[in-house]
């Protein structure tokens, strides 16, 4: 099965796929040339698994599935990720709108951290570009505008005629602007019902975006993350730069706001934890509402083959069943998997120094 919908990849479904051994293979490719780039890594993994007959068999059969698929469906362009588990008769290919690098990952489940980071950073959003003449609504996914809706505006310019005529003219003009804004909001509401976006940005003439904001229902106001008056005569390239700068500026702002909420709760002994051990324990108990982690943070952990327990640190034995049949895991990936199954959110932040000082990771709790 091959798809092309990076934001449509169901992380919850992927996170629910597990085995008690390193039977899953995840491969991320940034371009067709990456197939040559990962060959050495594949060979080295084969050598490393020789002493474990089961895992060696899993890896070998998984690579056969990958090579068989690529021979039938040539990889010609763009980013790609492949998840497979011969043991569970599972194989899936996803095209990536924006490549995340070249990765070969052997684990007990699909490696979803790169996708979680991608979906966090490139949330789908709607951009309303409007002045008194016309408005366009762009739906932006994976950093690319994929469609647009146009709403015509017939709001007359301000004029000076004096007296009662001036007042009647302005009342008529205000009414035109009001109905024009309602038309725009109706289209946004329709798109929102279809699940097309999670955030909204308003740009254009100050008067028009102010009126749009005034007539927005509360559920759309909650999705409004930025607004900016722009010179509509500056051209498309200018708009693209300004819109994306505004979006990522708001993304950084939302990361800081989440951290401030967690910090405030923690300092009052409230619903927050910091540090990887406490976040992991809270995630296991489905207590986490939102997690924030510095993007470059790395944490080691282990999973036990016998009891499937998950623990932080470079342990040689399982702390629950004392088995020494354990293997190392990316603990952030494991926590993201847990959060996906419990409906919690993971936010990957550009480095926040205060967060780094308390262990690079923290979470807001449900209870």
pTM (predicted TM-score) = 0.77
**pLDDT digit string (tens) for 43-92?**
999 999 999 999 999 999 999 999 999 999 999 988 999 999 999 999 99
CATH class of segment(s) 1-111: alpha beta
CATH 3.40.630.40 for the 121-233 domain, yes or no: no
Is the pLDDT confidence value at 218 over 60?
Answer: yes
Whole-number Å distance between alpha carbons of 5 and 112: 15
> For residue 275, with 0-12 CB atoms within 10 Å meaning exposed, 13-18 middle and 19 or more buried, which class applies?
middle
Encode 225-259: b = buried (16+ Cβ within 10 Å), e = exposed.
Answer: bbbeebebeeeeeebeebbeebbeebbeeebeebb
| DSSP β-ladder status, 103-107 and 144-152 | unpaired
Question: Which stretches within 110-229 are classed as H helix?
Answer: 113-121, 163-193, 206-215, 218-221
**Segments making up each domain of the chain, as ranges:** 1-111, 121-233, 254-367
Average pLDDT, the chain: 87
Q: Which architecture does CATH list for 254-367?
A: 2-Layer Sandwich (3.30)
| DSSP β-ladder status, 144-152 and 134-141 | antiparallel
At residue 47, the pLDDT reads 95
* Least confident window among 4-8, 254-258, 304-308, 351-355: 4-8
Whole-number Å distance between alpha carbons of 352 and 295: 9
Shortest CA distance to 140 belongs to which of 154, 126, 157, 156?
Answer: 126
Shortest CA distance to 304 belongs to which of 291, 321, 287?
Answer: 321
Same fold, 121-233 and 254-367: no
Mean predicted confidence (pLDDT) in 281-298: 96
Whole-number Å distance between alpha carbons of 168 and 29: 63
């Amino acid at each position: 099965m091959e798809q092309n919908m990076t934001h449509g990849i169901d992380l919850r479904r992927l996170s629910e796929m597990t085995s008690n051994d390193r039977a899953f293979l995840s491969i991320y490719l940034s371009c067709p040339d990456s197939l040559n780039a990962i060959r050495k890594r594949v060979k080295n993994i084969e050598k490393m698994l020789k002493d474990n007959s089961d895992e060696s068999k899993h890896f070998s059969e998984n690579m056969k599935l990958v090579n068989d698929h690529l021979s039938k469906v040539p990889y010609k362009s763009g980013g790609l990720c492949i998840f497979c588990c011969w043991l569970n008769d599972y194989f899936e290919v996803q095209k990536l709108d924006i490549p995340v690098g070249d990765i070969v990952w052997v684990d007990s489940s699909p490696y979803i951290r790169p996708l979680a980071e991608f979906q966090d950073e490139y949330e789908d959003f709607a951009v309303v570009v409007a002045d008194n003449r016309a408005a366009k609504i762009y739906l932006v996914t994976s950093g690319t505008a994929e469609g647009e809706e146009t709403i015509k505006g017939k709001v007359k310019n301000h004029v000076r005629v004096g007296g009662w005529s001036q007042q009647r003219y302005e009342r008529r003009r205000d009414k035109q602007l009001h109905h024009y804004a309602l038309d725009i909001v109706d289209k946004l509401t329709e798109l929102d019902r279809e699940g097309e976006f999670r955030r909204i940005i308003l740009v254009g003439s100050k008067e028009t975006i102010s009126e749009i904001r005034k007539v927005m229902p509360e559920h759309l106001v909650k999705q409004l993350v930025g607004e900016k008056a722009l010179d509509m005569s500056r051209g498309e390239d200018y708009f693209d730069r300004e819109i994306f700068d505004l979006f990522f500026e708001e993304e950084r702002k939302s990361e800081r706001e989440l951290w401030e909420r967690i910090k405030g709760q923690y300092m009052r002994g409230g619903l927050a934890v910091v540090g990887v051990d406490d976040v992991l324990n809270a995630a296991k108990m489905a207590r986490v509402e939102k997690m924030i982690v510095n993007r470059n943070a790395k944490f080691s952990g282990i999973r036990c083959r016998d009891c499937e327990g998950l623990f932080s640190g470079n342990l040689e034995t399982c702390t629950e069943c004392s088995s020494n049949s354990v293997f190392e895991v990316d603990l952030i990936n494991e926590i993201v998997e847990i959060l996906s199954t419990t409906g919690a959110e993971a936010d990957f932040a550009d480095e926040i120094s205060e967060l780094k000082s308390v262990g690079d990771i923290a979470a807001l709790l449900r209870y």
